[in-house]
Amino acid sequence: MNNLIDGRAIAAQIQGELAARVAVLKSRGVVPGLAFVRVGEDAASKVYVGRKEKACAELGIISETHVLAEKTSEAELLALIAKLNAAKHLHGILVQAPLPKQIRESVIYSSVLPTKDVDGFHPVNVGKLMLGDESGFKPCTPAGVVELLVRSGVKTDGAEVVVLGRGNIVGKPMAAMLCQKGKSANSTVTICHSATRDIKAHCQRADIIVAALGVAEFLKADMVKPGAVIMDVGVNRVPDATSKTGTKLVGDVDFKNIQPIAGKITPNPGGVGPMTIAMLLQNTVRAAEQSSN
């Protein structure tokens, strides 16, 4: 069935558009710069940062990665961020989650300058998102979902949307973006979570479902009305005896059984994931443009 929303193709399209903007910046003597900060040796974090570094190199964005020991204190990390905030050649700062338990994520995200917060996690940028103020930076994953919907011709105006998950990184900002008054939004949004009564009933009336609960294959075919658009944000590792590693990655959507009835659906991998990186690059280029104006 050709109802797949190809995140890799759309991400490549966006990166092509960004390449032209990077060329304009370089003609003015500005090279976009992005700092990655990783604390500890979390295997997934290493992979994610590696992919982001590669994407930066392909686009002509200078990136530098700072790796701190697992036992690093909150004060030491704050001292590094203060240096990165002051660095003129850096336009964006990304602190890779998760952080070790002795470090409070909220304190760290609040310490990055809002003008360099290309992750969109600073309270100023969160507030701007809630207010519909386009001058802030939006979190990359939900911003990527919106781009996928828009560029796939999905009508959000007046659509019934169910967001599965109320996290600060995807669920809440996703709902805030889609319910704004304006283009590529204007939806009626319901957020469902672990305390929601009868999630199935909510999902069955949705025109668009964004699954971001972090529960492997949570969304089943009997929860989806025919023709609904399904956006799978989940990244879950489950046992798989046929794999070399003994595990495989799956989303929050039972893809095999839902694809035949969905109007459009993102594959996983190859759907939302590549868009998260594309939006990070877009935020970094915009940060460089704003700092040079």
**Which of the residues are catalytic?**
52, 96, 119
What is the full DSSP assignment across 29-72? T---EEEEEEES--HHHHHHHHHHHHHHHHHT-EEEEEEE-TT-
Task: Provide long-range contacts, Cβ within 8 A and 24+ apart, for 190-197.
Answer: 190/160, 190/161, 190/162, 190/163, 191/162, 191/163, 191/165, 191/166, 192/162, 192/163, 192/164, 192/165, 193/164, 193/165, 193/166
User: Given the DSSP bridges, would you call strands 62-68 and 33-39 parallel, antiparallel or unpaired?
Assistant: parallel
In 3D space, the residue among 125, 118, 182, 172 whose CA is nearest the CA of residue 150 turns out to be 182
- Alpha-carbon distance of 135 to 118, in angstroms, equals 12
**CA dist 278 to 19, 56, 59, Å?**
12, 10, 10
Cα–Cα distance for residue pair 112/90, rounded to 1 Å: 12
